[in-house]
Amino acid sequence: MHGIRAKNIVDVMVEISEKADMEEISHIPEQNGFIRMSDKNRRIALNKGYTNKGFADKV
């Protein structure tokens, strides 16, 4: 649509066992440039290419 800014986005869902340490596992993508956007109810949202200030200049 004319005038709408958008970037290609890929959603990925990772499921881990109940016994897994979610905090420990989440550090792997965070060490590779992903930003934690939220975490609650045993869910963590990580993002790359979008920041708290909008789209990143480069992914």
Structure-derived torsion over alpha carbons of residues 16, 41, 45, 10, reported in degrees to the nearest 10: 60
- Mean pLDDT (the chain) is 84
Q: What predicted TM-score, i.e. pTM, was given to this entire model?
A: 0.65
Quick one: average pLDDT of 11-19?
88
Q: Which pair of tokens denotes residue 28?
A: 């792997």
The residue assigned the tokens 């016994």 is 19
Q: Please give the pLDDT value at position 10.
A: 73
